[in-house]
Structure formats: structure tokens, C-alpha cells
A and B are shown apart, each in its own frame.
Chain A
Amino acid sequence: MPIIELKNINYKYPLARQYALQDVNCTLEKGKFYGLIGENGGGKTTLCNLIRGLVPHFYNGKLEGEALVFGKDIRDHDADELAVKIGYVFQNPFNQLSGIKETVFEEIAMGLENLGVEKEEIIQKVIHVCKLLKIEDLIERNPNELSGGQRQRVAFASIIAMDNDLLVIDEPTSQLDPQGTEDVFEIIKTIKESGKTILLVEHKIDLIAEYCDEVLVMEKGHIVYFGETANILSDTALLAKGAEIPQVAIWGNEMKEIQRPLQYIPITVSQTVELIRKMGGN
């Protein structure tokens, strides 16, 4: 059963003149990892807000069409109910922590306290999540004294501890240094391996190519492409839509142009190495 079904969605923010989402149709299946790419202002964050239920519960505005989340219309969902089922991590690591807890351990436990989980169960879940995300060394630290990358890891931990069915992750590495980015993607890899449904908005196209099962491309509020990662990210037509494709895919397309076509257009470094190995064997 699909987790998200969007049919003929049009959405305009309050007081806005233009629609932020126009004629959006897509279905997200359980257990898959979706990448969402596109130019700035293309509607990616608005789509995340819709899936997360912030549209229309938080932002109001004008929503048309049918948005089914876990089989129920988004308008009929209780905002709290969605918070339990859908986790959300976004760009700014400095605004994702509560600011009122004195240790990382308590920070991660906060969501579980809000859900009324018993103390011993909270402790076990937090320990599990800290080990999973390798942040055991941070548990006694004050969250307000952490670096951006560390805060982002704690924000992830806080959401994962709540064991949501779907995770919406909006540009989690845009404000991080390379080490912070690497740490976050290690976490995303771990979450993927646990079988959760993930929607990831990112501009780092190589990472989207590496991890995502399917990709959505947005431009001016429309979904212009939606399909398997290998098919979408190997097509140079994407460049005209304000999105990037991996360098190795550009190389693959250029090889095709010079009449030296490859067996397939690679989108990751490992695929490229495999192709070169096979070419070398020939």
C-alpha cells in the first residue's frame, strides 16, 4: 500500500500570488528511498511541508486536490498524529534542538517523553539510537555547545528514536562542512538499511545517485521527472530543468556522443569503475 498519494495537487501559500505546487501527482511506496531534486524555488520544500502535514495545518493557504497520507486525507489527519508517523529533519542544525535540555541524552529522549513513553523504554530506545548513530561520546554534552554537524546528528537521533514510518529530510547537509556531510550521510545509509521510507531533498547529486531508489525532479512547482534513479540521473535533459546529474553520467553521455557508447550510463563511481574494468577486459 502506498504511504503517500498525491493527486492533482495545487497549493498556494497565504498572500502568495503564484502557486508553489502545480498539478502534482505522485505515489510514494513503503520501504523505498526517494530523492527530491530541482532548482531553488522549484517547490521541493513545499512538497515536504505538504507530506509532513505542515501544509495545511501550519501554513494554511489554498490547497486543492487530494493528498492521502497513510490512506487518509491530509486535511483529516490530526497534526499530532502526523508528528508521530512522519519524522522531519531540515537544513538548519541550530534550530532543530529544543534548547532547554542540558544533555544530549535528555534531548534525544524529549520526543519520547512527549509521547508518554515509560522511562525505562525511553532509556533503552535512546541507548539504541546513540549506538546506531555512533554518538555515544556526545550523550553527556550540552546540546547548545555542539558544532553544526554534531547538532544535526543529534537532531537525527531525536527523530529516529521516535521510530516514525516515514522520514522527510530536507537538505540536511547544506550548512555543514565536508566532515559533517559525511557523518550525516553515514546516518542516512544506516536509516536506509533499517528499511524505513525516506524522502531526501539534496543538491549533492552524487549522494542521491548512491543511495536513492527513485528520484523526483521539480521545476516551478511541477514534478517534471519521476522514476528510477539510474534512468533519471543518466539523462542530460535534466540539466535544462535546473538539476544536476553526476559527473560520471555526463562522461557516459559524452562517450555516447563520440561513438564509444558504454554498456550503460553510470551514475556512481563504483558503476564507472566496473564499466572500465569490463572495457579493460575487452
Chain B
Amino acid sequence: MNQEFIDSFRHYQEYDNWFIGFNPLSKLNILFAFGLSAMFIKEWKYGFALCLMYCIFAILIGKAKPFFKSFSVLVLLFGVFTLILRQFSVHGTTVLFSFFGLFDVTEEALINGLDMASSLLGFSGAIILFFITTQMRDLMYSLEKRGVSHTVSYIILASFQTMKDLKKNMETIMESQKARGIETEGGIVIRVKAFFPILGPLILGAISGTEEKSIAMDARAFSAKCQHTFLRELKPVPVYEKIIVLLVNLFFAASVGFKIYTIFILK
């Protein structure tokens, strides 16, 4: 047996990267604070500066590839789409240029679009960064340590696996349909016709599987009333990490305060 692997459970779990090694709740706090600040401030210069910061940060912590893969989809989905949509819904007076004579791009609409797009990207970029730097099991561990029920933790973690199992089961059912001569590939109509009949066995299979899984978990004393212990533990939150979280929260509070000031006091 790999002794190094076994010994890893005797100590707190370690990660190569300093940020990934942060407590999941600290990461959630930090990134959520930055993300929310983009939504509150809603200024394109701030929002895009934040997005640039995320990109640089992702490179520094060695998560550039997964971050850019997800973020680029969001840039197209939220960024470009929001920007275009705003050109039709916001009317301005300063025309910058005409788009093939179809509609005019005004300065007001462009800035509004950029503000909206940057705040959405600023928020969703933070969410992406959180999920690529945090394992769900670590997050659940931290939440359980804070008093969240073991059952809730199991349900959340099991849901992720259940989605993968359902996908696999669906593929199996599709293959068996194909083996019976049912067309499953081709145009959209054929695919839809093949898809709906499998929902019944898929859902029924999932329900019966749930009963068996409940029995299996009961056999593992899942509902035992004693205090659960943990084989795999994270280190307690160090002081410097708490200071960083506090500073980020103060920054967030200041940004909200500043926005309120500019909206209500200055105007």
C-alpha cells in the first residue's frame, strides 16, 4: 500500500498553490465580495479592470486554461450579447456610427452596455474562479464544521455524481434502443422522438436507485446521532487569511458606500 497516500490523511490536506490552499469559505467570501462589488459599482472601467485582474490571477495560480475556457464562453454569452442588446433598448443622442444602416450605435447606449456587460462578467468571473480553485468536498467539509447538517452536505455532493450517473444511464438506454432498431441519430425531430421515451425508465431507475442508496447509507450508520469525525481534514484558518478576508470585506463595504454616496448624496 502506498504509505505516502495513507500518511496524507494523518495531516491536514495540503495544496501546492497558496490560494487554492485557502479555506473554501475564505475563498467564497473574497471572490463573492469582488463579484458583488462589480454589480454594485456598475462602471465599465472598474468591471473590466476586475476581469483583467481575474485573468492575471488565474495565470498566477496556474489555472489559466480552465478559467479562460469557461470565461471566454461567458464573454460571448453575457458580454457581447448584452452590449448588442443595449444598443436597441437604450436611446442616446450622440451617434458614434451607424451599423450597416440598420441601427445607430450611440455613446450613451455603448457606455450603458459596457457598464452592464462588465458588471455581469465581473460577477460571473468571480464565480468561475471560485469553482476552479475549490473542490466541492472541501466546501462541504468547511460548512459541516460550521454546523451545516451532514445530510445536506451529502445531498449536495451526491447530486453532482447523480448527474453524471444519469447521463451514463441515458447513454445505456439509448444504446439499447438503438439495438432494438429505434433510430436515435439524425435530424432534430428523430432525436427528440428517441429522447422522450427514455425519460420514463431513466427516472424510474433513478428512483429505485435512490431507495437502494438510502439503505446502503443506512448500513454505513449515516443517521447515527453521535458526532461525526473526518478522515480528511483542512487546516484551521490562519491569521493572515482572516486579515485578507477582512480587508476584502472592508473594500467591498467601501465600494458600496461610495456608490450610495455618488447616487444619493452627490445627485
Q: Is A23 an interface residue (CB 8 A)?
A: no
Whether A111 pairs with B221 at a CB distance below 8 angstroms is: yes
Whether A118 pairs with B154 at a CB distance below 8 angstroms is: no
State in angstroms the CA–CA spacing of A113 and B150 once bound together: 11
Bitwise, B144-187 to A at CB < 8 A (1) or not (0) is 00000010001001100110110000000000000000000000
State in angstroms the CA–CA spacing of A75 and B202 once bound together: 35
State in angstroms the CA–CA spacing of A158 and B220 once bound together: 8
**B32 nearest CB across to chain A (Å):** 24
Whether B1 pairs with A123 at a CB distance below 8 angstroms is: no
Size of the chain A interface, CB-CB below 8 angstroms: 47
Chain A residues with CB under 8 A of B98 = none
* A-binding segment of B63-71, B190-198, B227-235, B243-251: B227-235
Chain A residues with CB under 8 A of B230 = 113, 119
Whether B6 pairs with A99 at a CB distance below 8 angstroms is: no
* B-binding segment of A25-33, A78-86, A207-215, A239-247: A78-86
Of the candidates A88, A98, A113, A155, the one whose C-beta lies within 8 Å of that of B158 is: A98
For A101, give the chain B residue with the smallest CB separation: B137
Chain A residues with CB under 8 A of B131 = none
Whether B5 pairs with A90 at a CB distance below 8 angstroms is: no
Chain A residues with CB under 8 A of B165 = 99
Whether B232 pairs with A79 at a CB distance below 8 angstroms is: no
Q: Is B218 an interface residue (CB 8 A)?
A: yes
Chain B residues with CB under 8 A of A110 = 220
State in angstroms the CA–CA spacing of A106 and B135 once bound together: 15
Interface residue SS majority, chain A:
helix
State in angstroms the CA–CA spacing of A43 and B57 once bound together: 62
Of the candidates B2, B137, B164, the one whose C-beta lies within 8 Å of that of A139 is: B2
Whether A106 pairs with B229 at a CB distance below 8 angstroms is: no
Segment 1-54 of B: residues with Cβ below 8 Å from A? 1-2, 5-6, 9-10
State in angstroms the CA–CA spacing of A95 and B162 once bound together: 11
Chain A residues with CB under 8 A of B150 = 114
Of the candidates A52, A88, A89, A115, the one whose C-beta lies within 8 Å of that of B226 is: A115
Q: Is B266 an interface residue (CB 8 A)?
A: no
Chain A residues with CB under 8 A of B222 = 83, 114
State in angstroms the CA–CA spacing of A131 and B6 once bound together: 14
Chain B residues with CB under 8 A of A123 = 6, 9-10, 231
Whether B231 pairs with A140 at a CB distance below 8 angstroms is: no
**A31 nearest CB across to chain B (Å):** 21
Known contacts being A58-B215, A139-B1, is A116 close to B158, with CB within 8 Å? no
Q: Is A133 an interface residue (CB 8 A)?
A: no
Chain A residues with CB under 8 A of B212 = 90, 92, 95-96
Known contacts being A80-B225, A116-B226, A116-B227, is A144 close to B161, with CB within 8 Å? yes
Whether A83 pairs with B221 at a CB distance below 8 angstroms is: yes
Whether B216 pairs with A114 at a CB distance below 8 angstroms is: no
Whether B154 pairs with A100 at a CB distance below 8 angstroms is: yes
Q: Is A38 an interface residue (CB 8 A)?
A: no
Q: Is A200 an interface residue (CB 8 A)?
A: no
Chain A residues with CB under 8 A of B229 = 112-113, 116-119, 122
Whether B213 pairs with A159 at a CB distance below 8 angstroms is: no
Whether A99 pairs with B158 at a CB distance below 8 angstroms is: yes
State in angstroms the CA–CA spacing of A158 and B222 once bound together: 13
Chain B residues with CB under 8 A of A155 = 216
Chain A residues with CB under 8 A of B6 = 105, 123, 127, 139
For A168, give the chain B residue with the smallest CB separation: B219
State in angstroms the CA–CA spacing of A281 and B55 once bound together: 87
Whether A127 pairs with B220 at a CB distance below 8 angstroms is: no
State in angstroms the CA–CA spacing of A88 and B58 once bound together: 47
State in angstroms the CA–CA spacing of A140 and B7 once bound together: 13
Segment 114-148 of A: residues with Cβ below 8 Å from B? 114-120, 122-123, 127, 130-131, 136, 139-140, 144
Q: Is B217 an interface residue (CB 8 A)?
A: yes
Chain B residues with CB under 8 A of A119 = 9-10, 229-231, 233
Whether B215 pairs with A120 at a CB distance below 8 angstroms is: no
Whether B231 pairs with A122 at a CB distance below 8 angstroms is: yes
Known contacts being A100-B157, A123-B6, A140-B5, is A83 close to B216, with CB within 8 Å? no
Q: Is A109 an interface residue (CB 8 A)?
A: yes
> Would you mind naming 26 contact pairs between A and B with Cβ atoms under 8 Å apart?
A54-B218, A58-B214, A79-B218, A80-B225, A83-B218, A83-B222, A92-B209, A105-B6, A105-B9, A105-B231, A113-B229, A113-B230, A114-B150, A114-B228, A115-B221, A115-B224, A116-B228, A118-B229, A119-B9, A122-B229, A123-B6, A123-B9, A139-B6, A140-B2, A140-B5, A162-B220
Which 6 A-B pairs have CB atoms at the shortest separation, nearest pair first? A95-B212, A111-B220, A99-B161, A100-B157, A116-B226, A114-B221
10 additional contacts, CB 8 Å, given A111-B221, A112-B229, A116-B226? Answer: A80-B221, A80-B224, A98-B216, A99-B213, A100-B137, A100-B154, A113-B231, A117-B229, A127-B1, A139-B2
